[in-house]
Amino acid sequence: MAEAIHKKLQSELEKYQQMQKDVSKSMSSRQKLEAQLTENNIVKEELALLDSQNTVYKLIGPVLVKQDLDEAKATVSKRLEYINGEIQRYESLLKEMERKSEQHREVLSSLQQEYQRAQGQAVGKV
Partner 1 sequence: MASVHDQMAAAGKVKRSKDLPQGVERLKEEHRKVVKDCRSQIEHWKKVENDYESLQERLRTLPDKLSYDIMVPFGPLAFMPGKLVHTNELTVLLGDNWFAKCSAKQADALVEHRKKHVKNTLDDLQKVMKNFQNRADFTDDLEKLTGDTGDFVDIREEVINEEEVTKGKHRLAHKANSKPKQVYLLELEEDKEKKEGDDERTTGVLSEEELWARLDELERQEELQDERYRLDSTDTNGEDTTSSSEEEKEADGGSDVQVNGHQKENGWLPTSITSQMNGTNGSHPEDEEEEDCDEEAGNGLPTIYFSHTAEFKKVRINTGKNTTLKFSERNEQKAQAKRKKKSGKSNGHSPHESYKITSPADIYRVFVDLVNGEPIPRKSILKSRSRENSMCSDTSESSTADFEERRAAFGRSWSHDDATHSDTSDGITEEESPTGTSPRTNGRFEAFTGTVIEKDPLPCSIPHLTIAPPALPTIPERKLEEVGPEAPQEPPKRMSKFKATQLHQK
Q: Candidates 26-34, 71-79, 88-96 — which segment interacts with partner 1 by CB under 8 A?
A: 71-79
Contact residue for partner 1 among 26, 56, 90, 97 (CB under 8 A) = 56
* Nearer to partner 1 (CB atom), residue 54 or residue 88: 54
Query: Would you count residue 27 as binding partner 1 (CB under 8 A)?
Result: no
Query: Would you count residue 9 as binding partner 1 (CB under 8 A)?
Result: yes
Contact between 56 and 76 under an 8 Å Cβ cutoff? The reply is: no
Contact between 122 and 47 under an 8 Å Cβ cutoff? The reply is: no
Q: What Rg value do the Cα atoms of the chain yield, rounded?
A: 26
Query: Would you count residue 101 as binding partner 1 (CB under 8 A)?
Result: yes
* Nearer to partner 1 (CB atom), residue 10 or residue 31: 10
In angstroms, the Cα distances linking 109 to 11, 25, 101, 103, 113 are 13, 24, 12, 10, 6
Contact residue for partner 1 among 21, 25, 32, 58 (CB under 8 A) = 58
* Nearest one of 85, 75, 82 to 43, comparing CA atoms: 75
Shortest spacing between CB 110 and partner 1, in angstroms: 12
